[in-house]
Amino acid sequence: MSFFNELAHQYIDGEWLNGSGSWDIIDFNPYNGEKLCSVTVATAAEVDLAYRAARRAQREWAAVPPHRRRHVLENAERVVGERADDIVEMIIDELGGTRFRAEYEVRAARDFLRAAAGLALRPEGLLLPSAVDGKENRLYRMPVGVVGVISAFNFPFLVTMKTVAPALALGNAVVVKPHQNAPVVGGGLAARIFEDAGLPAGLLNVLITDSAEIGDTFIDHPVPKVISFTGSDRVGRHIAATAAGLFKKTILELSGNSALVVLEDADIDYAVRAAVFSRFLYQGQVGMAANRILVDRSVEAEFTERFTAEVSALQAGDPRDPDTRIGPVISEFQADALTALVEEALASGATALVRGRTRGSLVEPTVLTGLPHGSPLLTQEIFGPVALLMPFEGEDDAVRIVNDSPHGLSGAVHTANTERGVRFARRITSGTFHVNDSTVQDDPLAAFGGERMSGTGRLNGEAAVEAFTTRQWISVQHGRTDFPF
């Protein structure tokens, strides 16, 4: 528990501090209920301190040569590599993630840190022609200044790193508010890594708190120019409205209702494996997870038999057991909510092909089919190990069903004809879509984000440059302008 006790603090202007709020956030292991640490919440006054520290530090950081900024990011990646085993253990303890899932997150975070290091050298200025004789137009890329990051609990280390790292590389300062279910892995851990990597004080600050304490202060504070949020569409809608009224840019990665589509010519065994992974990675607590699995009627029976057999064989239990594929959901409250969703679906006429039990925060996999048209479960995000199996009649029907959702984050289609798959993907309203793979995909260089209620803006690669920089036009008149008056 020493890691948790060391990092369970506010981190402001390079100092590890206790919050000044009147209550504590208690961090529990979701599998066994063990208390990991407690953190006294930060107040609005500490939000102000963090943002002001970030603004002071950012002015000097923006003037630092890009190669020096790149060096700090490279150091951070090295630190993560050296401490990978410890970070894996922390993810298992704080999030209930299986060992495979924890190792996956650490590898991905290192990939994103390496890519962010390269971004430090990416911004380029432009020299543009002018219609005016003797005029020179210069277009510079500038850091936006200070970025506020609100991280999620499901992949908190990765989500924090993939946002914080490029923002820092491009000359910005950052204030992070991690999810209260992941205050250490999503917050304090990142602060310690960058501290040890040589990042100057004030450039990365971590505030462990809750809106019940600070209200909208994290969003409407005058210092941050960009707010990056990962979480539910309900909260995202509020953040978007609040930020828009203050002319702040938002990067919002919100809820998903992804579909994995199996066309009649697909490799069924491969599609089954992709579907199982897409739905049940980290107990389905992934925005990109395949809520809906659509299967062409002609291969429905074969796919269903193999899919349900694979799901039934998934071992649920202790996430430290290397054979465990389904660990706990984040809390017993979430487990009870998932159980209620399944019971409601069964009461409305759905059939359970696989019916898992709920034991505390451990929810075994469930597969439902036959949901009636108009069922709310078909159009909402299911943040847990519950799969919906749906038949369709031909491609047009599949496209209609996939697009019959208010969300558009990810998806996948399986077919023997790659270009057919691409044509199918282009008919879907979704920020990302994948041919012959899982719905859960992220890449440091590929623009990532959602459409409709799944969010706005993009991250990764050039999209991160757009997110965390702004353009400034400076013109130079080398002659004299003939003013008309």
Return the pLDDT at 95: 96
Q: Judge contact between 294 and 328, C-beta under 8 A.
A: no
CB within 8 Å of 221: residues ≥ 6 apart: 47, 48, 51, 148
Dihedral, CA atoms, 301, 302, 308, 311, nearest 10 degrees? -150
Contact call for residues 169 and 120 (beta carbons, < 8 A): yes
- Amino acid 7: pLDDT: 96
pLDDT at residue number 122: 84
Structure tokens at 395: 């491609």
Angle (nearest 5°) at CA 419 between 415 and 425? 75
Give CA–CA dist 400/398, Å, rounded: 5
Q: How far apart are the C-alpha atoms of 10 and 209, rounded to whole Å?
A: 9
Q: Which amino acid is at 419?
A: E
In angstroms, the CA 356 to CA 385 distance is 9
- Which positions ≥6 away from 153 have C-beta within 8 Å? 95, 179, 181, 182, 186, 330
The structural domains of the chain, ordered by start, are: 2-254+454-473 (3.40.605.10), 258-435 (3.40.309.10)
Tokens standing for 76? 């951070």
**Cα–Cα distance, 308 to 276 (Å, whole number):** 9
Parallel/antiparallel/unpaired status of strands 249-253 and 455-456: antiparallel
- The pLDDT assigned to 123 comes to 84
Residues of the chain with pLDDT under 70: 1
Dihedral sign (CA 48, 210, 108, 321): positive
Q: What is the CA angle 288-151-249, rounded to 5?
A: 90
**pLDDT score, position 337:** 95
